[in-house]
Amino acid sequence: MTLTRRLCLIIVALAWALPAGAKPSRPVAEAGIATAHPLATQAGEEIMAAGGNAFDAAVAISAALAVVEPFASGLGGGAFWLLHEAKGGRQTFVDAREVAPGAATRDMYLDELGKPRPGATLDGALAAGIPGQPAGLAYLAKRYGRLPLKKSLAPAIRYAEDGVEVTRGMELGLRFRAGAARNSPALAALYLPGGKALVAGDVVRYPDLARTLRRIAADGRDGFYRGPVAEQLVDGVRAGGGIWTLDDLARYEVIERQPIRASYRGMTIVSAPPPSAGGIALANVFQILSGYELGRLAPADRKHLTIEAMRRAYRDRAIYLGDPAFVSMPLDRLLSPYYADGQRISILMDRATPSIQLSGILPEPVAGTNTTHFSVLDRAGNRVAGTLSINTWFGSAFMPPGTGVILNNEMDDFSIKTGVPNGFDLIGTDANSIAPGKRMLSSMSPTFLESDRGVAILGTPGGSRIISMVLLAALAWSDGADAAAMVALKRYHHQYFPDVVAYEDGAFTPDEKAALEAKGHKLEPSERSYGNMQVVTWDRATGRVAAASDPRGGGDVTIY
C-alpha cells in the first residue's frame, strides 16, 4: 500500500545499504519522491509501481510537471537531470538545456544605439531558445529507463486530457504575466478566457498539449523535433516575430556530462557542470569555507563568511562561465584549493568586501522567477535530481498555436551585453554572450550530497538564488539537519552584484543583523519568501528514508 502526504513524511525504511560516491549500491527497501505538485508525485509513484525505475519516474514526473505546473517548466523549455545508477554507482548529468537558434546574433536584443530593447529577452517568440526537454525525456527513457515512453508519458497525457485545477501559485503567476500573455492568442485562449485571468480552483484542459505529448509517446524525439509538431512550432514562432527554423529543431542534441564533485568536511557534493554555474560555484564556496572551523564561530561570523564566499563564487560565475562548447573556462583554477586559499586571504573577518573592490565587471543599472525541481530515489538505490525550467513565470508567455506548448524565455539567461543585468539581476561577459547553437548559462543545480551519514537528493527553482539555496541546505545537512529542516531553512543570498544580502524573514536574528551591518553588509529583506526545494534523504545508520517538500510551495512527497 502506498502513502502520499503533504509536506514531510518520514517512514522507517528497511534499507540495507546505499552508496556514497561511485561505490555500487545495494537496494533500499523503500522509494522516495518529492516534487512541487501532488499530481507529479503521483505520476512518479504510478510509474514505479508499474515496474519503472527512478529514471522512468523522472520522465513521468517531468512530463507531469509540464501539465500541472506549466508556468514553471515544460516541453517548451529545458532541463538538467543528475543521475545515479545503483548498479555500478555511475553518476552522470543529462543536459537538455535550450540552445540559441541558428539565426541568433550576439547583439540581437540591442537597439541601434547599443541599448537593450526593454522586454525583448523576456516576452514573445524572439525570447525563446530551442527547447531541450522533449529530447531529454526521450533520451532518459531510451538510455536509462525500463519502460517505453508511451507508458511513462501516460499520466501526463491523462492529466492534460482530464484537466488540472489552477493553483494559487498559478493564479499569482497569471496575474504577473497576463499583460504579455494577451499577445499570444493561443495562450490567452487557455488562461484568459473572455479576457479574464483564471483563478485558483478553475480547471484547465490541455487538448493540444495532450496531442503533442501523444506524438512524443509514439515517435520519441522526432514527435517534437520533426514532422507536424515541429512545423506548428516554427510557423507559430515565425508568425510571432521569432527566428526558429525546422533545422534548429532537427539539430537539437542532448549532451551527457561529468558532474562536478567537491568535498567539505567528509561530505561529497555532486552537482551540475557548465552550462550550469551551480557545481562550480558550490565547489568554490565549499573550498573557501573548508579553511574555517565554522562550527566554532559565532553564528553572525559563520553567515558573514558564507556571504563572502557567495560573493566571490558569483563573481567568477559572471566573468568566466558559459557553454563549454563555446568558451574556454579556467575550471582547473576555479576548482583548485590553492585558488580558494587566495580568495580566503581577501576575506576580512570584521568587514564585508564591497563587490566593487573585487576586480571584475560593473553592472549597468536595469528587472519573477520560475522553474521546478524534483528528487527521486527508487528501491534499487537509483537516484534522480531533476531541475526543469522555462525560465520566468510562463516563460516567454508565447504559445505557438495548436501545440499547447508554452515557450521558454531562456534567451534572457545569456549576457546580452557585458554588465547588463538579466531578469535575475545577474551580469556576465562574452563567456556567456549569444551565439548560434550555444547553451545559455544556468544556475540550475540538481545536487547529491553523500557522506558517512547517507545521501541527500536536492534542488530548487529560484533563478540566481538556486545556488545559494542549495549551498545553505548542504551546509545544514552537513551539520545534521534532516530533509524537513533543509527545505524549511530561512534563506539569505549574495550574488556579487547587486552588492546586497537579500534575506528571508527569520534568516538572521536581530543580533546577527546588527553584527553583519556593523561589518558593512547591506541587508535587504526579500519581499516574499523564495524557493521551492524538494529533498529526499537516506540515512545510513538508521536506514530511514525521508522526503520533504518546501513549505513555501504546494508540493507533495511519497515514500512507499
**DSSP code per residue over 166-190:** PPHHHHHHHHHHHHHHTT-HHHHHH
Cβ 74 to ligand GLY shortest distance, Å: 13
Nearer to ligand GLY, 169 or 463 (CB): 463
Please give the backbone phi and psi of residue 203, each rounded to the nearest 5 degrees, phi first: -110, 135
Q: How far is the CB of 55 from ligand GLY (least distance, A)?
A: 22
Distance between CA atoms of residues 59 and 65, nearest Å: 10
> What are 465's three cell numbers?
538564488
| Beta strand 454-458 pairing with 492-493 | unpaired
Return the DSSP state at 357: G
The residues near 159 (Cβ < 8 Å, ≥ 6 apart) are 39, 43, 64, 67, 68
Ordered DSSP codes for 91-126 = EEEEEE--B--TT--TTTTB-TTSPBPTTTTTSSGG
Element containing residue 308 per DSSP (H, E): helix 299-320
Distance CA 547, CA 472 (A): 18
Q: Closest separation between CB of residue 62 and ligand GLY, Å? A: 15
Nearer to ligand GLY, 236 or 463 (CB): 463
**Measured from the CB of residue 301, what is the shortest distance to ligand GLY in angstroms?**
30
Q: Which residues contact 87 (CB under 8 A, 6 or more apart)?
A: 24, 25, 380
Question: Whose Cβ is closer to ligand GLY: residue 184's or residue 443's?
Answer: 443
**Count of C-beta atoms within a 10 Å radius of residue 99:** 25
Q: Which of residues 382 and 391 has its CB atom nearest to ligand GLY in the complex? A: 391
- Angstrom distance (rounded) from CA 7 to CA 343: 39
CB of 321 to ligand GLY, least distance (A): 11
CB of 477 closer than 8 Å to CB of 448: no
Beta bridge partners of 456: 449, 537
Residue nearest to ligand GLY (CB): 442
Q: Which residues are catalytic?
A: 371
Smaller CB distance to ligand GLY: residue 91 or 409? 409
User: Interface with ligand GLY by CB under 6 A: which residues?
Assistant: 371, 389, 391, 410, 413, 442-444, 463
**Residue 58 · residue 86 · CB < 8 Å:** no
Query: Do 97 and 439 meet the contact criterion of CB atoms below 8 Å apart?
Result: yes
Between residues 109 and 159, which has the closer beta carbon with respect to ligand GLY?
A: 109
Report, in Å, the least distance between residue 451 CB and ligand GLY. Answer: 27
Q: Which three cell numbers stand for residue 66?
A: 509540464
| Minimal distance, residue 298 CB to ligand GLY, in Å | 33
- How far is it, in rounded angstroms, from Cα 67 to Cα 162? 11
Grid cell 548529468 — which residue?
93
Please tell me what DSSP assigns to residue 3.
E
In the complex, the smallest distance separating the C-beta of residue 502 from ligand GLY, rounded to whole angstroms, is 16
Integer Cα distance of 434 and 363 in angstroms: 18
User: What's the min distance (Å) between Cβ of 443 and ligand GLY?
Assistant: 4
Spatial contact of 284 and 312, defined as CB atoms under 8 Å apart: yes
Element of type H or E holding 385: strand 383-389
Q: At its nearest, how many Å lie between ligand GLY and the CB of residue 358?
A: 22
Burial class (CB in 10 A: 0-12, 13-18, 19+), 183: middle
Grid cell locating 453: 551519514
Pairing of the two strands 255-257 and 203-204: unpaired
d(CA 49, CA 56) in angstroms, rounded, equals: 11
Closer to ligand GLY by Cβ: residue 381 or 459: 459
Cβ atoms of residues 422 and 415 within 8 Å: yes
Q: Which is nearer to ligand GLY, 232 or 371 (CB)?
A: 371
The helix/strand/coil state of 227 is helix
How far is 232 from 220, CA to CA, in rounded Å?
Answer: 17
Point out which residues pair with 537 in neighbouring strands: 456, 546
Q: Pick the closer one to ligand GLY by CB: 391 or 460.
A: 391
Tell me the closest approach of the beta carbon of residue 275 to ligand GLY, in angstroms: 9
Q: Which is nearer to ligand GLY, 375 or 391 (CB)?
A: 391
**Closer by beta carbon to ligand GLY, 152 or else 371:** 371
